[in-house]
Amino acid sequence: MFAKVILLATAALVAWSVLARPSGAHGHKMTYRVQAYDTLWTIASAHYGGDPRDAIWKIEHANKLGGATIRPGQVIVLP
Protein backbone atom coordinates (compact mmCIF):
# COMPACT_ATOMS: atom_id res chain seq x y z
CA MET A 1 0.00 0.00 0.00
CA PHE A 2 2.78 2.44 0.96
CA ALA A 3 4.63 1.69 -2.27
CA LYS A 4 1.51 2.55 -4.31
CA VAL A 5 1.20 5.92 -2.57
CA ILE A 6 4.88 6.71 -3.21
CA LEU A 7 4.56 5.58 -6.84
CA LEU A 8 1.43 7.69 -7.34
CA ALA A 9 3.02 10.75 -5.72
CA THR A 10 6.14 10.35 -7.86
CA ALA A 11 4.07 10.02 -11.02
CA ALA A 12 2.08 13.14 -10.12
CA LEU A 13 5.28 15.10 -9.45
CA VAL A 14 6.82 14.02 -12.76
CA ALA A 15 3.63 14.91 -14.66
CA TRP A 16 3.44 18.30 -12.97
CA SER A 17 7.08 19.13 -13.77
CA VAL A 18 6.68 18.11 -17.43
CA LEU A 19 3.39 19.95 -17.96
CA ALA A 20 4.17 23.10 -15.93
CA ARG A 21 3.89 26.39 -17.81
CA PRO A 22 5.04 29.90 -16.89
CA SER A 23 2.37 31.69 -14.91
CA GLY A 24 2.89 35.07 -16.52
CA ALA A 25 3.18 36.56 -13.04
CA HIS A 26 5.43 39.29 -14.35
CA GLY A 27 2.83 40.26 -16.90
CA HIS A 28 3.21 41.17 -20.52
CA LYS A 29 5.64 43.99 -21.15
CA MET A 30 5.01 46.25 -24.08
CA THR A 31 7.41 48.74 -25.61
CA TYR A 32 6.50 52.24 -26.71
CA ARG A 33 8.42 54.68 -28.92
CA VAL A 34 8.15 58.18 -27.49
CA GLN A 35 6.58 60.69 -29.89
CA ALA A 36 7.07 64.46 -30.02
CA TYR A 37 5.28 66.21 -27.14
CA ASP A 38 4.80 62.97 -25.18
CA THR A 39 5.24 63.11 -21.43
CA LEU A 40 5.18 60.28 -18.93
CA TRP A 41 1.83 61.66 -17.80
CA THR A 42 0.26 61.45 -21.27
CA ILE A 43 1.71 57.98 -21.87
CA ALA A 44 0.52 56.72 -18.48
CA SER A 45 -2.94 58.24 -19.01
CA ALA A 46 -3.27 56.61 -22.43
CA HIS A 47 -2.05 53.13 -21.45
CA TYR A 48 -3.17 52.64 -17.83
CA GLY A 49 -6.39 53.14 -15.95
CA GLY A 50 -6.73 55.02 -12.70
CA ASP A 51 -4.31 57.54 -11.27
CA PRO A 52 -1.43 58.12 -13.74
CA ARG A 53 1.06 58.81 -10.91
CA ASP A 54 1.32 55.11 -10.04
CA ALA A 55 1.87 54.21 -13.70
CA ILE A 56 4.50 56.94 -14.05
CA TRP A 57 6.39 55.50 -11.09
CA LYS A 58 6.24 52.00 -12.64
CA ILE A 59 7.45 53.30 -16.03
CA GLU A 60 10.31 55.25 -14.41
CA HIS A 61 11.48 52.21 -12.44
CA ALA A 62 11.05 49.70 -15.28
CA ASN A 63 13.21 51.89 -17.53
CA LYS A 64 15.64 53.04 -14.80
CA LEU A 65 14.86 56.67 -15.60
CA GLY A 66 16.43 59.26 -13.33
CA GLY A 67 13.30 61.40 -13.56
CA ALA A 68 10.42 62.22 -15.84
CA THR A 69 12.56 63.37 -18.77
CA ILE A 70 12.00 61.41 -21.98
CA ARG A 71 12.84 62.32 -25.57
CA PRO A 72 11.22 61.60 -28.94
CA GLY A 73 12.43 58.37 -30.48
CA GLN A 74 13.29 56.83 -27.13
CA VAL A 75 11.89 53.32 -26.66
CA ILE A 76 10.52 52.63 -23.20
CA VAL A 77 9.03 49.54 -21.59
CA LEU A 78 5.46 49.79 -20.35
CA PRO A 79 5.23 47.23 -17.54
Q: Where are the domains of the chain?
A: 24-78
- CATH T-level topology, domain 24-78: Membrane-bound Lytic Murein Transglycosylase D; Chain A (3.10.350)
- Look up the pTM and report it: 0.64
How many of the other CB atoms lie within 10 Å of CB of 47? 13
DSSP 73: T
**Distance (Å, whole) CA 32 – CA 20:** 31
Q: What is the pLDDT of residues 21-53, one digit of tens each?
A: 555 556 667 999 999 999 999 999 999 999 999
pLDDT value at residue 2: 76
Q: How far apart are CA 32 and CA 16, in angstroms?
A: 37
